[in-house]
Amino acid sequence: MTNVTNDFNDKYIPCKALLIYNCERETDSNINTDEANSVYVESYDIGLLGNPINAHPLSLKESIALADLLQSSAEMQNGYLKSWGLLPNNLLYLKSDSSGCAVWYTPPQQRDLFFVKDLGIPCGKAYVPAMVWKATRDSLSVFAVKGKSKPTAKTALYYAPYFNIYSDGRVCMGNVNINIDRGTYLENFMMQWEQYFFGSYFSHTISGGSRTNLNIVQLWQQQVGTENRFNELHLVKNGSTLNQLIR
């Protein structure tokens, strides 16, 4: 076994210690069980020399912080970003901690697309380019890539040719109700985000975020309802690679 004590101490600094007192008293039929078994928690701060100082009863604020920490740990054990079995073939990167994210790839495919009436683009099926997705529980970024092969670390990223996207790839989900909890398994996590993205209505561009070599309205007017594969010449590089995305 490897001794990781030094590495642990370099990264984690003790800041709090708890001492739990349990008082057990003899009971009879006239004494409530909760009153007979009482617990007192004393909290200590940790001084610069690593010694416990400033003993005081555990405060309400400290209790709430401790409860949140324990709840988060329990939730993470319930399946958040865990796979049902083998990792999906299209998964590119996974960070499965409390603020975890997943990065995955989808090949060129045909999807149902929805547009607000003001854009003058009919709703319907259209071919879309290969995409790279990066998502946390409450945020999504999307990018386009060229070709049909699974991306590598050096694969160049392109602006996703859609509406409702910021220049850095973040998606404005508008009033879409995002419901991904900390018990969501990896496969469902990826599927839900794809459904949220393609199931919502595209409505507007954001500060030049939707960059294409053809007017984006004209692009989808010419694409929806046809069997035309997406023309990758319409894609514009955003200057980054997949490796930069996952750092």
Percentage of the chain exceeding pLDDT 70 = 84
Greatest mean pLDDT range, 64-68, 132-136, 209-213 = 132-136
- Give the per-residue pLDDT at 169: 95
Bridge partner residues of 191 (DSSP): none
DSSP-derived 3-state class of residue 218: helix
Q: How far apart are CA 186 and CA 13, in angstroms?
A: 32
Output the CA–CA distances (angstroms, integers) from residue 40 to 51, 58, 59, 196, 233, in the order listed: 21, 8, 11, 48, 69
In the chain, where the domains are located: 5-58, 91-245
Kindly report, residue by residue over 21-77, the tens digit of the pLDDT. 887 665 555 545 444 457 888 888 888 888 888 888 888 888 887 777 666 555 545
Q: Average pLDDT, whole number, for the chain?
A: 87
CA angle 202, 176, 143 (to 5 degrees): 50
Better-predicted residue by pLDDT, 171 or 33: 171
- The per-residue pLDDT for range 98-116, each reduced to its tens digit, is 678 999 999 999 999 999 9
Find the DSSP H helices in the chain.
5-11, 33-36, 60-76, 186-199, 216-223, 242-245
Least confident of 31-45, 143-157, 224-238: 31-45
